[in-house]
Amino acid sequence: MNPDPDYSAAYLRVETDAGDGLEGHGFVFTIGRGNDVQAAAIRALTPHLVGRDVEGILDDMGGFWRELVWDSQLRWLGPEKGVMHMAIGAVVNAMWDLKAKRAGLPLWQLLARMTPEEIVDLVDFRYLSDALTREDALRILRAAEPGRGEREARLLAGGYPAYTTTPGWLGYSDEKLVRLCREAVADGFGMIKLKVGGNVEDDVRRMRLAREAVGSGIRIAVDANQRWDVDEAIAWMGRLAEFDVAWIEEPTSPDDVLGHAAIARGIAPIPVATGEHSGGRVMFKQMLQAGSLSVLQIDAARVAGVNENIAILLLAAKFGVPVCPHAGGVGLCEAVQHLAMFDFVAVSGSAEGRVIEYVDHLHEHFVTPTSVSDGVYHAPTTPGNGMEMLASSRKEYTFHD
């Protein structure tokens, strides 16, 4: 589905004249030429930032999110999905980066120390209230409140479980697949993921090799990257079921709520996972209502930033569905770990059945690269949202201007 990616990012840096030297950084990950379109969308939001009072924005991040999402002329381009919505995500995330740096806290900790009332004020419940009300959200957050301190300490001591997609790319030889599977186990990962959907006989062979290489104690998920129609997905997964599949990810179009639900029924008990291309909170609401997914995959740079991902985390908690974030790309691991850790401490209160995706490349370009070892993400302690790239990398790789 993505045969020629050219990993890119539309990158945003917010400066102020506060004199503290702090900047807010955010980006939208893209896979090539779309990056120019994405950058133009971010520029279209300039009037919402330039000349504004920074404290006013940072003190009311819920209001700022609504202001951007409800810019009626730009809203026409979505609404609440696609290029414009992702651009809003970059701006919102950059402002959260600035807020976290000013607070001297990593984003996950800043969020996890807010009161339940402050957290729900970040969320726009419009269109969600048939599935999640403000009162529901408060109940979820208050239930998690007593255990926050204990879980924060546990997270800082033991990290958050990771899984690796490194072994499973289509196009690797069988020998390389087996070698990387063994290395993943040796590196302490409890789960790996294989790309599927090219050729069913190849997938059966690769799954058998992977299962033999990792043994029965390691979970293996598969990812079809939207390749199939509904019936094809069910038939294909029927061939892979014998290998004890942890989940099938993106079996079909990310917009197909009822198609995912049909696949989920057709391949039960294999879980269906999706979300990395889900346009926003309303789509996630429907997926949860329809039983379309049983693993929810948020992405830090797909929806309109931290606020919307908090709404999605609350929806998942309401429906009792585990969140296993999508990552990889450029900087997505650095960014999304903060949301998973916030969820663990202050929302779901659980890491049961939850893992953050990990792909081991391009981390060297970030000011605070992920720290992953022994199969876990170690909690970042540097202030900010993790999205800041090194100035030297930005300079070396900036394209166009």
Q: How many of the other CB atoms lie within 10 Å of CB of 105? A: 18
Q: Min. distance of Cβ 13 from Mg ion in angstroms?
A: 28
Q: Min. distance of Cβ 68 from Mg ion in angstroms?
A: 27
Look at residues 223, 193, 227 and name the one whose alpha carbon lies nearest to residue 210: 193
- Whole-number Cα distances in Å, 392 to 8, 151, 365, 395: 16, 36, 8, 5
In the residue annotation, 326 being an active-site residue is answered as yes
Size of the site for Mg ion (CB under 5 A): 2
DSSP code of 17? S
Distance of alpha carbon 300 from alpha carbon 256, whole angstroms: 21
Give the nearer residue to Mg ion in terms of CB position, either 226 or 307: 226
| Site stretch for Mg ion (CB under 5 A), options 52-60, 248-256, 286-294, 365-373 | 248-256
Q: How many of the other CB atoms lie within 10 Å of CB of 28? A: 28
Paired strand residues for 296: 274, 323
Q: How many of the other CB atoms lie within 10 Å of CB of 161? A: 20
Distance of alpha carbon 333 from alpha carbon 164, whole angstroms: 11
Give the nearer residue to Mg ion in terms of CB position, either 62 or 353: 353
Distance of alpha carbon 377 from alpha carbon 355, whole angstroms: 9
Q: Min. distance of Cβ 200 from Mg ion in angstroms?
A: 19
DSSP code of 362? S
Residue whose entry in the numeric block shows the structure tokens 């499973």: 168
Decide: 308 and 284 in contact? Cβ < 8 Å: no
| Site track for Mg ion across 174-213, x = CB under 5 A | ----------------------------------------
In the residue annotation, 195 being an active-site residue is answered as yes
* 299 lies in the site for Mg ion, by CB under 5 A: no
Pick the catalytic residue from 25, 101, 195, 260: 195
Q: Min. distance of Cβ 225 from Mg ion in angstroms?
A: 6
Give the nearer residue to Mg ion in terms of CB position, either 136 or 249: 249
Q: State the amino acid at position 289 in one-letter form.
A: Q
| Site stretch for Mg ion (CB under 5 A), options 30-38, 81-89, 249-257, 331-339 | 249-257
| Site stretch for Mg ion (CB under 5 A), options 111-119, 170-178, 222-230, 386-394 | 222-230
Q: State the amino acid at position 248 in one-letter form.
A: I
* 223 lies in the site for Mg ion, by CB under 5 A: yes
Distance of alpha carbon 140 from alpha carbon 228, whole angstroms: 36
Look at residues 179, 204, 183, 207 and name the one whose alpha carbon lies nearest to residue 193: 207
| Site stretch for Mg ion (CB under 5 A), options 77-85, 89-97, 244-252, 283-291 | 244-252
| Site track for Mg ion across 251-270, x = CB under 5 A | --------------------
Q: Min. distance of Cβ 332 from Mg ion in angstroms?
A: 11
Q: Min. distance of Cβ 114 from Mg ion in angstroms?
A: 30
Q: State the amino acid at position 51 in one-letter form.
A: G
Cis link prior to 167 (omega < 30° from 0)?
no
| Site stretch for Mg ion (CB under 5 A), options 60-68, 221-229, 258-266, 393-401 | 221-229
Give the nearer residue to Mg ion in terms of CB position, either 223 or 256: 223
* 152 lies in the site for Mg ion, by CB under 5 A: no
Give the nearer residue to Mg ion in terms of CB position, either 122 or 273: 273
Pick the catalytic residue from 260, 318, 326, 365: 326
Distance of alpha carbon 328 from alpha carbon 236, whole angstroms: 26
Give the nearer residue to Mg ion in terms of CB position, either 45 or 246: 246
Burial (CB count <10 Å: 0-12, 13-18, 19+), residue 8:
buried
Give the nearer residue to Mg ion in terms of CB position, either 249 or 256: 249
| Site stretch for Mg ion (CB under 5 A), options 90-98, 115-123, 246-254, 288-296 | 246-254
Distance of alpha carbon 343 from alpha carbon 87, whole angstroms: 24
Give the nearer residue to Mg ion in terms of CB position, either 5 or 104: 5
Q: Min. distance of Cβ 296 from Mg ion in angstroms?
A: 13
Query: How do 24-30 and 8-14 pair as beta strands?
Result: antiparallel
Give the CB-nearest residue to Mg ion: 223
Q: Min. distance of Cβ 247 from Mg ion in angstroms?
A: 10
Q: Residues in the site for Mg ion, rule: CB under 5 A?
A: 223, 249
Annotated catalytic residues are: 195, 326
